[in-house]
Structure 1
């Protein structure tokens, strides 16, 4: 009799647990999205804003405040965000209290093409449209289009990783020969770079020249600085 009683109690306990679990699960599914929160993973200026992201989700009817959690498709939300022109990666998840959290990393431009059509070249060497919210402070690119802009990727990628070059180089000109000239900030001379090859060697030569010319107070005496000849820097005076 005692064994039967214990068996009944065990069955009752299991039934209660199953009921409570089912009730909690049903209640959890019936809850609505309490908040849509967007967080950008870096502190840089925004090429797409939180307001724009929320508007995108609402217009495409994939996520909104008070939406039933059961109808929310997180994969669809992530796909929509990752297809945005200004977003490099988006991760979306739902918290226990019903908050839809989107963590977004933006694409990062390293050069801006100026001409009949204007656009950025991003850090991965891909074309990126201009943003209506913010203009990146990157070197301007002249003589480029969508077909040849990748030729300058090696140059721009090297420049963005070098503090000295980032501070001093403001523009890249592509000549009809396919070679490059660099424009300098607050300096009245062009830097003839030649082809986008031996990039590290050429820039190291330029830094050594710049340091020496600055020390000798001769930076303003040059019209052109030529880096294309291997280990030497050839300067043309005004």
Structure 2
């Protein structure tokens, strides 16, 4: 009995020490000072709207100074929510890590962001912006230009979203068309003129209806005609008429 009592007493003491230590560690963790940022931009090789300094600047503009504050005085959910409302951020995650340098423990605010993916750029007299895959507006940035087709002419946003967007998305997801189409000029009445990146001709596309069939004819034209070095022979390629490609 005496031996069992000693064992039980030891176990109770260990539990008390662990609880006390956990309390002190938790208290220390909560009162720890945030020393640094760690910013990770997942798609930095694909898009250049954001960099480390711009993410930190946005955090501090919308949430105030972070470095030097106690960890438990900072609401990570608020930071994450405001980042997700940024014009350029599709998704993000915010969390703390502890990094050790010799005997010094540093509290680091980690921010992982995923940028929005522009599908097309709209250029008009009033403004210049992109649309992403969710049809959300992304402001044009003077520090970075995304390589997407440019929409010019009659740039009514409702028309672009409702009548033209699926065509733009089709171009974005097709390797050949993405490399080919540089500009989509919208005429009065909703007809399109496509400007290729290579060649001095224009592609009269008509309205954006039946675009898959029209692009099929366009690809066939490139394979059969332009592969024979006839780049300077035509000024216009007309896809407006069903079942045929008219060149002039």
Write the distance in 2 (CA, Å) between the matches of 1:154 and 1:61: 38
Q: Which residue of 1 aligns with 2:95?
A: 93
Q: Deviations over 1:120-140 (max 9, x none)?
A: 122222222111320112212
Write the distance in 1 (CA, Å) between the matches of 2:114 and 2:63: 22
Contact residue 112 and residue 141 of structure 1 kept, 8 A: yes
Q: Equivalent of 2:208, from 196, 199, 202?
A: 196
Contact residue 95 and residue 109 of structure 2 kept, 8 A: yes
Kindly tell me the number of residue pairs found equivalent between the two proteins.
236
Write the distance in 2 (CA, Å) between the matches of 1:119 and 1:6: 72
Q: Which residue of 1 aligns with 2:116?
A: 107
**Runs of at least 4 residues of structure 1 off by over 6 A?**
none
Write the distance in 1 (CA, Å) between the matches of 2:113 and 2:231: 44
Write the distance in 2 (CA, Å) between the matches of 1:15 and 1:186: 76
Shift of 1:75: 0.6
> Please, what TM-score do these two structures have when normalized by structure 2?
0.88
1:180 aligns with 2:192: yes
Structure 2, unpaired ranges of 5+: 100-106
Q: Which residue of 2 aligns with 1:205?
A: 217
Q: Equivalent of 2:46, from 37, 44, 47?
A: 44
Structural RMSD (CA): 1.8
> Please, what TM-score do these two structures have when normalized by structure 1?
0.91
Shift of 1:219: 3.0
Contact residue 87 and residue 107 of structure 1 kept, 8 A: yes
Q: Deviations over 1:138-190 (max 9, x none)?
A: 21211213332212211211111122212221100111111211011231221
Shift of 1:63: 5.9
Structure 1, unpaired ranges of 5+: none
Q: Within 5 Å, which residues of 2 pair with 1:1-238?
A: 2=2, 3-42=4-43, 43-61=45-63, 64-97=66-99, 98-116=107-125, 117-142=127-152, 143-150=154-161, 151-235=163-247, 237=248
